[in-house]
Structures are given as structure tokens and as C-alpha cells.
Structure 1
């Protein structure tokens, strides 16, 4: 996933956002709404592409965002919803007001999968892992290594 050609042609900024840029985007979207994201940077006086502005707003600047650690109830709800919906992060996020799909996906991949494995539950099928199977991520690596050696 590279950058869009518009980002190279217009010499747009990339990388970290400054507090001044955050303020400009926040003020513009609060006052006028976002409308068409591709037109927002120019209207707000930013040297960014529309996609960058959209992601910054959705994941960091929205006033209804909920910050901080997830509660046990939220973690349990994510596990239940993942069992029903799979990796449909935006549909899961819709059930957790103030949480973003990216934040939920990161929590799943960094913590919740491991917690399920420790409890003896397969994080893909949400079923009990049969006795004798490790269930760890390195288990698949060992199997592949053994297959190559054979």
C-alpha cells in the first residue's frame, strides 16, 4: 500500500501530525463538517491528503472517542462478537460506542487472542482446543518445519 499519486505531485506532508494541524482539522470539521474528505485539506489550510485527514479525524480527533484501557465487559463483548462476526472490525466497533475498529483490531491481535489460547480456546473457531495440542502460534511453525524436513 503506497501513497496516492496526488501525495507525490502536490508535495504533501506525511508523518506525524503537529498540534497546529490537529487544531486546524478539528476547527474545520467542527464548524463545517467533513463533507468530501478530498476537499477538506485545502479548505482547512492543511498540506495533507484527504485520506490522512479522514483517518486522523476518525481515529484521534473525534469528540466522541473513548480513550484508555478496555473494561472487562468490553473485552468479553469483543470476544462474543468476534465469535459471531469474525474479523469484521467495523461491525464489532459499531457495538462499542466511542471505540474505533482499528483500536479493537489491535486489542484483539495483541491481547485477546493470547488470553483465549491460555484458556484453551481456539481464537479462530472459539472452540475448546483438544488436549495434547499446544495451540500456540509457534505450533504451526514447528509443523511446517517438520513437513519441510520430511
Structure 2
């Protein structure tokens, strides 16, 4: 799994012109799932996301976690994170998980994040054409690949 984590002062996702979910202070996360991903990736990424110290403390130093900051999460599935651009100019998405694999893992990731955060999170809709808006606070953007944890 690959995640692109962006610290946000606000973020939202629209589907067919209607706001599906929005957050204030927190993290807007793009999630890419590949066929080899599983529960171990979900567990590891959940702990990493919830405890990542990227929110400012009283001195303005990035020293607080999402829990410390009482932040929210907006999670958006995005298969294009697994694009291969090695050959030619048309990206290949062969590593991206097919919906029958990706949808259950996406739903498990939602549940895992909600459990650890202790509240509901905002989400997009798997496979939908979404319009995502974000005010990136900082800007702070971090990319994490669960396959590179060692």
C-alpha cells in the first residue's frame, strides 16, 4: 500500500457535484492498493498514520500526532499511485489491485483508522470520479509505502 498524507486545515471530496465528505484540521490521505497488500499493511500503516508526529506543538515544532491534535481524516482510494511510468508516456496500472481485492482492503483500512482514531472518518467512493479539494497546511506532504518499512 502506498499513502500520500497531506496535513490539511480543510479538505473535501465531491461526487457528481455533491460534497460526500469534508474535514477541518487533520489529514487528507490518498490510498493506493496493490494485489500483494493485506492486513499486515493495513495494521502497520494505521499505526504509522495515527502516530505520525507532523502537527505543531505550542512552540510550532512538528511534535504532535493526529490523536494529540484531535484531527480528522479524509481517506480517498487512488489506484493511480501505483502507476508505472518506466516505458513510454502512457502510465501502466498493472500493479494496482483489481476491485475485487482493493474494495475489501479499502473498507478494512477505513475500519482500522476509525478504530484507532476513535471516531468516524470521511471517505470518497471507490471507483467514482471524485473532485478532491485541499488546503495543505504547511505544506506538509509525506509519502509512505508499506513495502518499504524495513
Larger strand proportion of the pair? 2
- Which is bigger in relative contact order (C-alpha 8 A, separation at least 6)? 2
TM-score (normalised: structure 2): 0.23
Larger helix proportion of the pair? 1
TM-score (normalised: structure 1): 0.23
- Compare CA radii of gyration and give the structure with the larger one: 1
